[in-house]
Amino acid sequence: MNEEISIAGVYVPTFALACVCALVICFATSATLRRLAVIDVRKFAWHPALFDFAIFVILINISYSILGKLPS
């Protein structure tokens, strides 16, 4: 697993890059679901902010595992 990824000669921690990727995906998914969904999924959650945070944590895990597979 790569602990750091070189971007233009600057070493960036893999976890930080995974957090940025997950944040972008989370914002895009949330905006898309709010506009296009017939049924608002967040309405059925006990606490919508915790639901969004849980989705964010899942996306961090997915992006971290994908970025960890990249060759150095």
Question: What is the distance between the alpha carbons of residues 23 and 6, in angstroms, rounded to a whole number?
Answer: 20
Confidence at 57, pLDDT banded by 50, 70, 90: very high
Question: Where would I find the H helices in the chain?
Answer: 14-36, 48-68
Helix (H), strand (E) at residue 7: strand 4-7
Q: Distance between the two ends of the chain, CA-based, in angstroms?
A: 9
Question: What is the distance between the alpha carbons of residues 1 and 31, in angstroms, rounded to a whole number?
Answer: 32
pLDDT digits over 15-41, tens only?
888 999 999 999 998 888 778 777 777
pTM: 0.79
User: 69 in helix, strand or coil?
Assistant: coil
pLDDT digits over 3-14, tens only?
787 788 888 888
Supply the pLDDT for residue 67: 83
